[in-house]
Amino acid sequence: MCVCLLNSMFKAMQLFRRSRTWIALIFVCVLLFMFHLLTYVTEVQDTNSPSLWDRYTGHEWSSVQQCRDNFERKNKTGQWFWSSVFRNPCWRDEKGELGCVPYFFVLGFPKCGTTDLFERIKLHPGYVPPLFKEIHWITRYRFFPLRMNADGHRVIQHVRDLHKGFNMYLKVFSPLTEILKWCHDPYRANVTTDVTSGTNPYTSCEDRITGDFSPSTVWDTDLYMQLPENRDMVVPQRTPGNFVYDMNPCAKLIIMLRNPVNRLYSDYLHFYENKSPQDFQDIVTTTIDLYKDCFQKWGVRPCVHRYYLEATGKARLRLGIYYIYISDWLEKFPRDQFLFIRLEDYAVDTKRHLQDIFKYLELPSISEGLLDEMSTAAPKNTRRDRKEDINAPPMLLETRQALEEFYAPYNKKLAILLNDKRYEW
């Protein structure tokens, strides 16, 4: 085909030289038609085009039991934090004491609706909440206390996880542990309790679950950078994701996100005093410049894990670069163990999202009345809950434009990572 095209081009040039223009034009038309046939491809599809992305529907979620069966077949040590007796991962230690770790984790992000979800899901009879929401043990408090070494540098004084530290974490989930102890009291061996939700009876108490709602789990690696495994690393190799996997490789993982520009302003309003749109503008400008300089020298991923940039710039700008954190977690857990929720969608149709969450967690359906009570309750942890922020003015237009420009390429990468163009915001 290519040889024919070259011959036709040569003949057309000869005809033009001999002043046979009309014949030459015919040859040119034939040449263009042949070129069209050569290059034409039917049904061309650009798989990177957002308009062609398919939204992840969640139909591929695997059951927890299936995950556990697969893990037990592959695990040669025979050690895991669950038993066939309880649906939530619980076990008895060498002394016969019962301990439970979370069945699921709401990993983050801060100011993305995790507190609101915590307050609503507490009403489900199959869920037993921990003693409090903001645990932060995995990312922070398992490392305390800190001490100074001989050179004056801050280092971690490790708490033995299976001694004081881990046991303290387990105590946060004591409400579930106490229920399960009651179910299997040696003096009431065959006694279980039934919970009725409207007209729908719930199953026995062994099927109840608990969860960790610490919104730092998804992103906070600051103390992990001081672990021996991460020494001299620009990017941590050992992260909270590794710890969660070691504790419960079959955990259900929920991540709530929102437009990173709005998230940052909400973060500012929540944590700062003497706040104003101009003050926010000044902080944002300084922080963006710091990160851009760092990106040029080190790259995005190392800079996202550097706390000093956040401390210097005084804005948690890095938290909105979602794709870095989420890609790290997706390297440790399969996609079908995650449920991603946009706060913008959750706020518009809370009822449907609660139903999706209950299905994802494999919780039984509840009565329509209880579901309505959950979904119509007043939102929690919003500006309306803080008097000083009720009438807070919006950020300056130039601030929004600067942040949108900063986050745009990372939102694009997140949308590609999750195969959902809604995350471009």
SS3 per-residue string spanning 235-268? CCCCCHHHHHHHHCCCCEEEEEECCHHHHHHHHH
Residue pair 228/146 in contact by the 8 Å Cβ criterion? no
Nearest Cα to Cα of residue 354 among 425, 280, 256, 274: 256
CA distance 374 to 165: 35
386 pLDDT higher than 70: no
Mean pLDDT over 337-346 rounds to: 96
The model's confidence at residue 422, banded by pLDDT at 50, 70 and 90, is: very high
Residues 297-333: pLDDT tens digits?
999 999 999 988 888 888 999 999 999 999 999 999 9
Q: Phi-psi region for residue 146, left (φ > 0), alpha (ψ -120 to 50) or beta? A: beta
Residue 374 has what pLDDT?
Answer: 92
Q: In this prediction, what percent of the chain has a pLDDT beyond 90?
A: 48
For residue 236, the cross-strand partners are none
Residue 324 has what pLDDT?
Answer: 96
The model's confidence at residue 83, banded by pLDDT at 50, 70 and 90, is: confident
123 pLDDT higher than 80: yes
CA distance 303 to 299: 7
Residue pair 210/128 in contact by the 8 Å Cβ criterion? yes
Residue pair 332/315 in contact by the 8 Å Cβ criterion? no
Residue 53 has what pLDDT?
Answer: 31
Contacts of 32 (CB under 8 A, 6+ apart): none
Mean pLDDT over 87-112 rounds to: 90
2 pLDDT higher than 70: no
Contacts of 366 (CB under 8 A, 6+ apart): 124, 125, 197, 198, 200, 358
pTM above 0.85, yes or no: no
391 pLDDT higher than 60: yes
Comparison of pLDDT for 163 and 308, the residue scoring more: 308
Among the ranges given (165-179, 306-320, 322-336, 365-379), the one the predictor scored with the smallest mean pLDDT: 165-179
Residue 263 has which token pair?
A: 């998230």
Mean pLDDT over 22-31 rounds to: 55
The DSSP line for 46-85 is -TT-GGGPPPP-STTPPPHHHHHHHHHHH-SS---S--SS
Mean pLDDT over 154-169 rounds to: 58
Comparison of pLDDT for 25 and 249, the residue scoring more: 249
Residue 198 has what pLDDT?
Answer: 35
Contacts of 207 (CB under 8 A, 6+ apart): 87, 126
CA angle, corner 211, sides to 342 and 192, nearest 5?
130
The model's confidence at residue 29, banded by pLDDT at 50, 70 and 90, is: low
Residue 383: C-alpha distances to residues 106, 111, 124, 258, 407 (Å): 22, 11, 26, 16, 24
Mean pLDDT over 52-62 rounds to: 40
Q: Is 156 helix (H, G, I), strand (E, B) or coil?
A: strand
Residue 30 has what pLDDT?
Answer: 57
Comparison of pLDDT for 39 and 132, the residue scoring more: 132
195 pLDDT higher than 70: no
Comparison of pLDDT for 228 and 33, the residue scoring more: 228
The model's confidence at residue 97, banded by pLDDT at 50, 70 and 90, is: confident
Residue 80 has what pLDDT?
Answer: 75
Residue 254 has what pLDDT?
Answer: 97
The model's confidence at residue 18, banded by pLDDT at 50, 70 and 90, is: low
Among the ranges given (31-35, 79-83, 243-247, 261-265), the one the predictor scored with the smallest mean pLDDT: 31-35
Nearest Cα to Cα of residue 173 among 62, 84, 110, 91: 91
Residue 39 has what pLDDT?
Answer: 31
84 pLDDT higher than 70: yes
Mean pLDDT over 170-182 rounds to: 88
148 pLDDT higher than 80: no
Question: Would you mind telling me the total number of residues written for the chain in this entry?
Answer: 425
182 pLDDT higher than 70: yes
The model's confidence at residue 207, banded by pLDDT at 50, 70 and 90, is: confident
Q: Phi-psi region for residue 238, left (φ > 0), alpha (ψ -120 to 50) or beta? A: beta
Residue 159 has what pLDDT?
Answer: 46
* Average pLDDT of the chain to the nearest whole number: 79
Contacts of 89 (CB under 8 A, 6+ apart): 80, 81, 82, 100, 101, 102, 103, 248, 250
Residue 14 has what pLDDT?
Answer: 55
